[in-house]
């Protein structure tokens, strides 16, 4: 009876050890390589000098963002052959960049209006940033 308990215990230890061995990674495992994201072209647009609570300040910010979007997409598309492919790529780039910028512009304007009316705002002050992959 003692021998049967010993054999059962040795068996269970062996099964547990084998399970742990199979779950453990090999010592000579190849390192895991995480690929970096594609290069991105970005533009930051500051508005610290603007009064965004005024229509003139908001128009100026929109012009600055428009210039940044144009510059960004000219750099990304880089071809000027006038083909439909290039025009479509530029259109997609501008659409993507403006899609990123509009909510940021809205938050910046709302922050300025909050400050103008109450002297405080829950919205953090940041520069507007647009980015697209190269």
Tell how far CA 58 is from the center of its chain: 26
| HSE-up of residue 50 (Cα within 13 Å, Cβ side) | 26
Residue 13 lies in a domain: no
Q: In the predicted model, what is the mean pLDDT of the chain? A: 75
Question: What residues contact residue 127 under an 8 Å CB cut-off, 6+ apart?
Answer: 44, 45, 46, 47
Answer whether residue 35 is part of any domain. Answer: no
- pLDDT at 79 (0 to 100): 67
Q: How many domains does the chain have?
A: 1
Domain contains 101: yes
pLDDT value of residue 38: 55
Residue with tokens 């908001």: 58
DSSP state of 100: H
Q: Which residue has the tokens 């600055």?
A: 64
74 part of a folded domain: yes
Inform me whether the pLDDT recorded for 12 exceeds 50.
Answer: no
Structural domain range at position 95: 40-133
Q: Note whether residue 5 is domain-resident.
A: no
Q: What's the pTM value of the predicted model, to 2 decimals?
A: 0.67
| pLDDT reading at 80 higher than 90 | no
What pLDDT score does 83 carry?
Answer: 82
Q: Is the confidence at residue 14, as pLDDT, over 50? A: no
Domain annotation covers residue 19 = no
Is 26 among the domain residues? Answer: no
114 within a domain of the structure (yes/no): yes
């Amino acid at each position: 009876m003692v021998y049967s308990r010993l054999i059962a215990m040795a068996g269970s230890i062996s099964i547990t050890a084998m399970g742990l061995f199979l779950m453990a990674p090999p010592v000579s495992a190849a390192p895991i390589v995480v690929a970096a994201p594609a290069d991105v072209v970005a533009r930051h647009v500051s508005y610290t000098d603007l009064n965004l609570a005024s229509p003139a300040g908001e128009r100026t910010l929109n012009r600055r963002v428009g210039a940044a979007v144009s510059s960004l997409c000219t750099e990304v598309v880089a071809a000027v052959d006038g083909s439909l492919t290039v025009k479509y790529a530029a259109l997609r780039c501008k659409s993507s960049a403006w899609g990123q910028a509009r909510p940021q512009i809205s938050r910046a304007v709302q922050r300025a209006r909050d400050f103008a009316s109450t002297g405080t705002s829950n919205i953090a002050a940041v520069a507007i940033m647009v980015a697209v992959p190269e």
